[in-house]
Amino acid sequence: MFPLNHTHDPKTRSWLDSANGHPDFPLQNLPLAVCRRSGSHEVFRGSVAIGDHVLDLAALARQGLLHGAVQQACEAAAQSSLNDFMAQGRATWQALRHGLFDLLQAPSSAVAQEAVRACLISRNQVEYTLPARVGDYTDFYTSIHHARSVGRIARPNDPLTANFQWLPIAYHGRASSLVVSGTAFHRPMGQALPAGVNTPVQGASARLDYELELGAFIGPGNGHGTSIPLDQAEEHLFGLCLLNDWSARDIQFWEMTPLGPFLGKNFCTSISPWIVSMEALAPFRLPFERPAHEPQPLPYLAGAINRAQGALDIQLEVHLETAQQRAQGQIGARLSHTSFRHQYWTFAQMVTQHTMGGCNLQSGDLLGSGTISGPAPEEAGAIIELTQGGRQPLSLPNGEQRTFLQDGDVVSLRGWCDKPGAARIGFGECTGQVLPARTAL
């Protein structure tokens, strides 16, 4: 795992004023995205968030300010997707982060500042695309609190499956329907079995849900037929983003007997544009701990490094804005707040489990953490938990109620890390709006 170094020093300030004290994108973060000026026909290219701006890496690479490994790293990250940069590994990632940190920190020469300012674009003037070509997307199921809560709805007397505490469970998702934050989608059609009837019906999902997750992008992959040991798994993790695994619960529960999710999950998955590097997250590491009375991981999923620093304290929130709130100029409501530290399995364990049978991960592949829910009811990461399967409607501040999502609803995920002695860093937002279903088949 990345050790703490000068790029984590909370006392270091940037000559770019908007970066100092920024809640998401201070000098100590420097996350990557792929964007261009809004409404333009420019080529999408890799950029870094700094304060209220993005630093255009393609423009920076032409300035002659960088040299050697830093220049090469900048050129790799400036492409229209980050796959090649991800594949080059830790030395390249660190060269770019440290080179940009040195360039943006104060004090700096007037000549260097002028050259860098020429490469800055206001963040409210850019549009994003997916940061990588995602060849494969795997979604895990790693929150024991979510598993128990949802399990009680379907199996009140036996909510937790026998395998959950022994391995990180996952299913293969649909990479083609991954979208960047801000993309609206239509309510999915499918087949479901309503309560109290014996014959399924086909139509628009009536039980549409969100899932609060984190996504992990794979850096260097592994060869077909090989596996990644747990103590090496972090070397294959490039960085994290916010992820919303939209779920049609009525369609999902009917089709999941006996196989995994299909139409209930494959219509849309949203991710935030900014990828926060594993190095930026280093100050927020925590020990991975499993209660002594619960099953301990098998040896291949247990190791000293993972025990010492495998967990991450990432604060996460879900906000809901309804069509009525927008029409009346009201702000949306916060539905829940939790932390990734409660997750039952770490991303390193997910990587090792994914590859132990010889599956070859590739640069740009995406792993979803599964719904992130904490131990308290208000820490639930999905509306199915908050409403107990739709039995207890949520009351919003404007008097509206929700059991599941309605057309026009906008769900926003937010994430950040903050603790004494470290600079707060954030992930920005991951938003998506529910549009009415298209006409039935």
Give catalytic residues, as residue numbers: 146
β pairing state of 137-141 and 169-172: antiparallel
**Count of other CB atoms within 10 angstroms of residue 436:** 11
Task: For residue 92, give both structure tokens.
Answer: 């390249």
Distance, in Å, from the CA atom of 109 to the CA atom of 98, rounded to the nearest integer, reads 17
Chain center to CA of 340: 11
HSE-up (13 A, CA, CB side) for residue 53: 19
Do residues 35 and 51 lie in contact, with contact meaning Cβ atoms separated by under 8 Å? no
Task: For residue 230, give both structure tokens.
Answer: 């747990």
β pairing state of 32-37 and 126-129: antiparallel
Backbone angle region of 225, left / alpha / beta, with phi > 0 → left and psi within -120 to 50 → alpha: left
**Count of other CB atoms within 10 angstroms of residue 197:** 8
